[in-house]
Amino acid sequence: MRKIIVAIDGHSSTGKSTFAKAIAAKLGYVYVDTGAMYRSVTLYALQQQFIKEQGGISEKDIVAHLPAINITFRYNKGTGASDTYLNGENVEQEIRGFNVSQYVSLVSAIPEVRERMVRLQQEMGVHKGIVMDGRDIGTVVFPQAELKIFMTADPQVRAERRYKEMKEKGSEVPFEEILENVKHRDYEDEHRAVAPLRRAPGALLLDNSHLTPEQQMEWFLKQLALIRTQ
Q: Say which CATH number the domain at 162 has.
A: 3.40.50.300
According to the model, what pLDDT value does residue 56 have?
87
Instruction: Report yes or no on whether pTM surpasses 0.95.
Output: no
Structural domain of 53? 5-228
pLDDT digits 0-9 by tens, 98-140: 899 999 989 998 999 999 999 989 988 898 999 999 889 999 9
Q: Cα 12 to the chain's mean position, in Å?
A: 8
Query: Rounded to whole angstroms, how far apart are CA atoms 122 and 140?
Result: 10
Above 80 in pLDDT, residue 53? no
According to the model, what pLDDT value does residue 193 have?
84
Domain tally, the chain: 1
Label the pairing between strands 204-207 and 147-152.
Answer: parallel
According to the model, what pLDDT value does residue 49 have?
94
pLDDT band at 55 (very low <50, low <70, confident <90, very high): low
